[in-house]
Amino acid sequence: MDANLNTSKHISGKFNEELEAVRNKVLSMGGLVEQQLHNALMAIENSDQELAERVLSSDHRVNDFEVQIDEACIQIIAKRQPAASDLRLVIAIFRTIADLERIGDEAERIARVAKESFNKDQQQFLISLENLGSQVLAMLHKVLDAFARMDIEAALEVHQQDAQADRQYEALTRQLMTYMMEDPRGIPKVMDVLWSARSLERIGDRCQNIAEYIVFFAKGKDVRHVSPESMERTVKGSASNKPASD
């Protein structure tokens, strides 16, 4: 956590402590979700059903984090009535934990596929899935690091990487569709891989969302649904990573 991050001056040092405690919980939740995704991908790569089951059994911990952080944010709003950058931070946290919870759900879906068996011909699709998974896992790691430091330049890089993940997903989808037309007997297994690829594509979108929340906090501007060019202009409009003026 960047101790120099400017979240504005508060009357009570206790307020700072509350905000930092919540931010730390978000990062703990993010670390758990990242581990879930890593384990789900490793379970597919190694046909490790025990590891897949471990992912499934840990989902409740992600949900618990979301509830705890949600309640802490509500308490902060009720007691402190935050304004300006402090309020933006709380809003960014609310939105981020919602996306992290959904990433956990997608990792759970991937883990369920890891419990299935695939024949030799179908292994090629798992390799393609692993490539997409590695890229999306790297995006998740980077955006969590960007959130820890509220680094808008790193957030922009993650935002831009989503287009590459989308292209990889589309190429894999075309490959899977072709295989199903050539060998209809393999459709059920290929559909499992297809749904896993879809989960990974959605995780990439969630990472992009979190990148937008970082920019919202730092710049005070909602960059959801804007063009990539507009996003870049917002980030590079100032060299400073400090939150927008109160």
Quick: pLDDT tens for 71-111: 999 999 999 899 889 999 999 999 999 999 999 999 999 99
Reference 112, options 168, 36, 166; nearest CA is 36
In a domain, 7, yes or no: no
The number of distinct structural domains making up the chain is: 1
Amino acid identity of 15?
F
Distance CA 28, CA 31 (A): 5
Parts of the chain with a pLDDT under 70 = 1-12, 238-246
Question: What pLDDT does residue 119 have?
Answer: 72
In a domain, 224, yes or no: yes
Question: What pLDDT does residue 245 have?
Answer: 57
Residue 121 burial (CB count, 10 A):
11
Which three-class secondary structure state does DSSP give residue 225? coil
In a domain, 246, yes or no: no
Distance CA 243, CA 35 (A): 30
Q: Any idea which residue has 């089951």 for tokens?
A: 53
Question: What pLDDT does residue 2 have?
Answer: 47
3-state secondary structure labels for all residues of 67-92? HHHHHHHHHHHHHHCCCHHHHHHHHH
In a domain, 18, yes or no: yes
Reference 148, options 239, 28, 36, 238; nearest CA is 28
Which tokens hold the place of 65? Answer: 């984090």
Amino acid identity of 27?
L
Question: What pLDDT does residue 37 have?
Answer: 98
In a domain, 241, yes or no: no
Reference 238, options 153, 116, 111; nearest CA is 153
In a domain, 5, yes or no: no
Question: What pLDDT does residue 240 have?
Answer: 53
Question: What pLDDT does residue 4 have?
Answer: 44
Amino acid identity of 134?
S
Distance CA 177, CA 72 (A): 46
Are residues 44 and 129 in contact, defined by beta-carbon separation less than 8 angstroms?
yes
| Distance, CA of 70 to chain centre | 17
| Distance, CA of 19 to chain centre | 21
Q: Any idea which residue has 């956990």 for tokens?
A: 104
In a domain, 42, yes or no: yes
Q: Any idea which residue has 């596929």 for tokens?
A: 113
**Could you list the residue range(s) of the whole structural domain that residue 46 is in?**
13-236
- The CATH number linked to 40 is 1.20.58.220
Question: What pLDDT does residue 12 have?
Answer: 66
Are residues 16 and 5 in contact, defined by beta-carbon separation less than 8 angstroms?
no
In a domain, 245, yes or no: no
